Structure 1
Amino acid sequence: MILARGLDDRVPYAVKIHGSALEYVVRPHRERFLPLAREGLERAGGVLVGSRHTAESLWEVMDDPALPARTRLGPPGVDVHAFHQRPPGEAAERLTALAGRLEGAGPAGWGGEAGA
């Protein structure tokens, strides 16, 4: 919701729904949190959920007929073929190289201007 306010229609964004936040915060305290949840979802180009159960719960709580069309299933997990553990020596070398680049990047820390 804070991100949605800050972007002010300038940057498209998607929202990832966390089932526990939906079930233990928004659902039992709708009067307080539903307006904030609606604001965060309002301009989102896509809504990502980790399961069909979370999607159906979201649709029920939000009661927005347009929401199912913007909802996409993205099950949690890692593609172990694309992302795999490196041999220990290679991993250590790459981590040391990354640390060196970050230390030499200056105050911004990532090689760009602070706040950019």
Structure 2
Amino acid sequence: MEDKQKKPVRRLKKQFRGNELAICRRQIMKLKSEIAELKEQISGGWISPDGQYCDTKYAARMVNKREQTLRNLRSTGGGPKAYSKSGSIYYDVADLHDYIRDGKTTWPSEEDK
């Protein structure tokens, strides 16, 4: 008699586990997508709370160039305007928008060198 009673209970447990697993899988997929978004935000660099200034990493992503390219442009006097404070380099987001809109800045000509 005990065997007959256990079988229906096991079926219910298996069915419940299946539904529970489906729910858990959906929650896991949702969490994975949220984690991916947060990782992208974290790796995207720093931007000030008011949205006016950002660091080199964020600026590079914004203008679609490598960080090293922005450093090279800054050292040659080209590229978007950069500000230095306490040893850190910051870019004004409005200047980055101007840089994107106007294209690359004027490069020194052969006569200037």
Q: Which structure has the larger Rg?
A: 2
Q: Could you state the TM-score of these two structures normalised by the residue count of structure 2? A: 0.19
Higher helix share: 2
TM-score by length of 1: 0.19
Whose relative contact order is higher, 1 or 2, with alpha carbons under 8 Å and at least 6 apart? 1
